[in-house]
Amino acid sequence: MLTAIVKELELRNTEISEEIETIYFGGGTPSLLTVDELQLIIDTIYKNYSVVENPEITLEANPDDLSKSQIIQLSKTPINRLSIGIQSFYGDDLKTMNRAHTASESLECLSESTRYFENITIDLIYGIPNMTEERWRQNLQKAFDFGVSHISSYALTVEPKTALASFIKTGKYPPLDESLAAKHFDILVNETAKQGFIHYEISNFGKEFFFSKHNTSYWLGKQYLGIGPSAHSYNEKERSWNVANNTKYIKSIEQNILPSEKELLSDKDRFNEYIMTGLRTIWGVDLIKVRSEFGEEFYSHLLKAVKKHIDQGLLIIENCHFERSEESQKLILLKTTSKGKFLADGIASYLFMV
């Protein structure tokens, strides 16, 4: 697999014209790779691509994957950011979500990680059955106490054929309560703000200078290259994805054939994606950009569609004037209000061109 990943990087080295700003080891459990294996991939990227001077290099990991010795070893590599799937600091919550790690492993992992890495993001889940508002506040406080600089937080969803789905079906756990999730979200927004976090994307909260550069590039529509089985790529005009089967992936790469499919994005696809991602961020949707890139039909559709949500206090249009050195630019931005943030995805779908 490692040989195939290295070869795919070499085969696709002409697909990205811009300098590489971020490298993200994610997907499965990349923390199972040795330091030497991670270094091989990083070296291959530097050999085949143009990389900025100080790229953000992130490694995803679960608490039970990061021993003290591994954390120390990782700190000596070019990796400068850890993304740790804490989910909850309480054992019964972890059992509800069928997580492999324990609460004590989460605490030990963060205790060590914060000694060697300044840039750490953790995942936390809210809306868990039986989680009280006080328990949710305690979860957040534990994160604050460790001094993490970034938190990604998502409402619990129930996937079919999972342990949680079975528990709910048999009555062992109550069904998900959207009103409880909404209360947890409000607590999340308020408590992170008190600690100096900036709510820059619906599910993401970062201290100043600690926003995820990698994920921000997705939300701002930048091109990216995905390497490995199931990985997705985007070049602003089309989206592609690799085959999910490991064996098929390796055999194809061995034959110098890229195991991927492509989809050419229509103007409607690109417009809808821009609306969806833009409304989730503090940067909003630039109405001038909509008019210039997509034309009058899309612009008129959007202005008509937003009126209902503006009247309901869910959306707002801001006029801004941006100046930097000799650059001057007028911006007309469509954004969600504090009332509309939790409903951003639903609002976006109403604004889609279909």
Per-residue pLDDT of 181-190, as tens digits, reads 999 999 999 9
Q: Are 87 and 93 in contact (CB under 8 A)?
A: yes
Q: Residue 27 — pLDDT band, cuts 50, 70, 90?
A: confident
C-alpha–C-alpha distance, residues 221 and 288, integer Å: 16
Q: Are 344 and 336 in contact (CB under 8 A)?
A: yes
User: What CATH code is assigned to 19-219?
Assistant: 3.30.750.200
pLDDT at 263 over 70: yes
To the question of pTM greater than 0.85 for the whole model, the response is yes
Is residue 8 packed enough to be buried (19+ CB in 10 Å), middle (13-18) or exposed (0-12)? buried
- pLDDT tens, residue by residue, 307-350: 999 999 999 999 875 555 455 566 799 999 999 999 999 999 99
Strands 51-61 and 20-25: parallel
**Regarding the domain delimited by 279-351, which CATH topology (the fold level of the hierarchy) does it fall under?**
Arc Repressor Mutant, subunit A (1.10.10)
* Domain map (residue ranges) of the chain: 19-219, 279-351
Is residue 352 packed enough to be buried (19+ CB in 10 Å), middle (13-18) or exposed (0-12)? middle
Which amino acid, residue 184?
Answer: H
C-alpha–C-alpha distance, residues 51 and 267, integer Å: 31
C-alpha–C-alpha distance, residues 161 and 96, integer Å: 14
In terms of average pLDDT, the best of 61-70, 189-198, 322-331 is 189-198
User: Any alpha helices (H) in the chain, and if so which ranges?
Assistant: 2-11, 35-48, 68-75, 91-96, 103-116, 133-145, 163-169, 178-194, 213-219, 246-254, 267-279, 287-294, 296-311, 344-351
Strand order in the sheet with 260-264: 232-234, 238-242, 260-264
Mean pLDDT (the chain) is 93
Q: What angle do CA 162, 164, 168 make, to 5 degrees?
A: 120
Token readout for 66 is 């990061």
> Which candidate, 144, 178, 171, places its Cα nearest to that of 342?
178
